[in-house]
A and B are shown apart, each in its own frame.
Chain A
Amino acid sequence: MLRVENIKASYGKELIVDDVSFTIEEGELTALLGLNGAGKTTLLKVISGLLKQISGRCLLEDRDIHQMNDKLRARHISFMPQRYSIVYDTKVIDVVLMGITPYLGPFDTPTKEQREEALASLVIVGMEDYAAENFRHLSEGQKQLVLVARNLLQDAEIMFFDEPDSALDFNNSHMILSMIRDVIKAEDKAGLITLHDPNMALNYCDKIIILKNGKKYADFYLADVGYEFLKDVFIQIYDDIKVLEHDERYIIIR
């Protein structure tokens, strides 16, 4: 669905992403893994259209996403940041409603029907009881759920998530990851998520892409590979680790 071709990108003079290509498909959740500085966030920003690449292109069904204006692109690609950036008191429903922005005219505000749609998105993530609450009073996990609802309302066929579990505790991390996975499957979206913890990727994703020093190091479907392959790949990235197998699932320990 989204074809990323030979992307090179930099911050300042330093090349951060070096010639990376891959595709993501609908109904699949793909993990983007790598150590700090491997280029995950930069790559994600480029393919979301938020950062200009040096060379290469991102094609969405043969249309270059960097040729689209912000509004058009936002109808096709949604981006969930690591952490919310709401600074003032705001009702939960109003946070979700921001997701309708790409469908509004320049001087419009949301209609009653769009408020209903926002409420429906909250129902999907199980947060409808909090619709009239103050967003800033929610727990960190609940806040991330509300952002997922906002991305659902945005209704783009491609959904990007930038380490949505980075500020969450163990239980909330699993909760938000399984919600994202459910949403991708139920709505048949193409999902890409950057993660720190490879175990999360092994647990929830269909496909894993690994970056190392700005280059793509590996790119595989979990269903296609076995213990030996995983062990070889992950030792190259994380050095001194062990891969354990349990109930046809893999766990990485160190």
Chain B
Amino acid sequence: MRDISSSDSGGRESYRVSLESSGKKDAIRLLVAFLLMLVIAIISIGIGKFHISLVDIRNIILGREVDPTVRMVFFGLRLPRTIMVMIAGIGLSMAGSVYQTIFRNPLATPDIIGVSTGANLGAAVAIVYLAGRPNTIAISAFVGGTIAVFAALALSRLSSNRRITDLVLAGIVVSSIAEGLIMMLKYFADPERQLASIEYWAMGSFASITEGKLLAVLPYFVLGIIMLFLMRWQINILSLNDDEARSLGVSVGRVRFLVIIAATLVVASIVSVTGLVAFIGLIAPHIGRMITKRNDFYTTSFSALLGGTILLVADTLARSISSSEIPISILTTFIGAPFLAYLMMRSDKDY
């Protein structure tokens, strides 16, 4: 290697100092985001049709006696729901950040290659043909989302040059076919019960989350997150164009395939039980990048915590601002769409 000691300079020293301080800043920022999410989560647990006071929450956490009804609401309804909301926010934001990186497109969302539409189709099939019990819907949605992504990947392999745009086009093709099938199912569905269920599923909700559902999807979620974590450096390299990434020694096709599989596991495990949650995978990574001013796995993790926090706020509003619950995607859309407009109008597009 080169001799590095002979050519030291003031610039390097000042860089080392700034590196050390920015390392500390990074750690603090991550910690603050994490604590903020926890605080919001604890407050959120108490809010809803049945109010749980902060004192009761403290007592439960400390293992003291509380009213049995309060205990039941806490463990049976709120805790699984709040954890699922955090998981959904974290997972969808992380997948969004990863997709925006590897597709080199700041507007890429977790459903860019068809996972959401596929899951939607799976759910609709379960509602119309498989009696539509919640667990059946979840499994069918998971299968639908995964099949859609594999179909898109297989389709993109048919093209000769295998560019990333082919993958996006393949995603559009698969999504369109799934949309068509969904419309067909809706047309033949019983308008009283089935059609409504299909529509509600596509609006997303955390109202029916139980401990059982949470534990059922958790392994897939964790597996996907671990895979993404392990590939964090290569994900970074995939943000370059294919030739550049390959010349740096990354087998682009294989790594991108694995990254997509991992992100799909995360997204499919979430939407299979929550239904579609709009925009969160778009806004959280953008805010993350705006704050950190870079785009690496640190930013992805930071965005994930922001996404968890935002979704907690949205879900708390969803169950408290009116007498009946509002579907979550209505709220995230009303937050997300104006935010997108704001991004559009910003003069310097540094995100």
- A-side residues, CB < 8 A to B, are 45, 48-50, 69-75, 77-79, 81, 85-91, 93-94, 98-99, 101-102, 104, 106-110, 115-117, 119-121, 123-124, 128-129, 131-132, 134, 136, 152, 154-155, 187
Contacts and interface: CB of A to CB of B under 8 A. Distances in A.
Contacts of A90: 294-296
10 contacts: A45-B243, A70-B250, A74-B247, A87-B106, A87-B239, A93-B19, A106-B231, A120-B2, A128-B15, A154-B248
B237 A98 contact: yes
Contacts of A128: 9, 11-12, 15
A48 B351 CA distance: 32
A78 B297 CA distance: 25
Given A101-B234, A187-B2, 7 more contacts: A74-B248, A79-B244, A87-B239, A121-B2, A129-B15, A131-B19, A132-B18
A81 B243 contact: yes
A85 B250 contact: no
Contacts of B232: 109
Given A81-B244, A117-B1, A70 B15 contact: no
- Sorted nearest first, the 3 A-B pairs with minimum C-beta distance are A74-B249, A102-B249, A88-B295
B333 interface: no
Interface residues of B, number: 43
Contacts of A115: 19
B75 interface: no
Contacts, number: 128
Interface in B1-39: 1-2, 4, 7-9, 11-12, 14-15, 18-19, 22
A75 B7 contact: no
A116 to B, nearest CB: 7
Contacts of A106: 230-231, 234
Interface of B: 1-2, 4, 7-9, 11-12, 14-15, 18-19, 22, 101, 104, 106, 230-234, 236-237, 239-241, 243-244, 246-252, 289, 293-297, 350-351
A81 B248 CA distance: 11
B12 A102 contact: no
A128 B247 CA distance: 24
Most-contacted residue by chain A among B22, B247, B251, B351 (CB, 10 A): B247
Contacts of B8: 123
Contacts of B104: 85, 87
A70 B239 CA distance: 17
A98 B234 CA distance: 9
Tell which of B244, B251, B295, B296 has the most Cβ of chain A within 10 Å. Answer: B244
Contacts of B248: 74, 98-99, 101-102, 154
B240 A98 contact: yes
B241 A117 contact: no
A88 B239 contact: yes
A98 B246 contact: no
Given A93-B15, A109-B233, A79 B247 contact: yes
Contacts of B244: 79, 81, 85
B160 to A, nearest CB: 8
A152 B2 CA distance: 10
A79 B243 contact: yes
B249 A89 contact: no
Contact of B233 (A69, A72, A78, A104): A104
Contacts of A70: 246, 249-252
A154 B247 CA distance: 10
Contacts of B350: 89, 134, 136
A94 B294 contact: yes
B241 A85 contact: yes
A73 B15 contact: no
Contacts of B239: 86-88
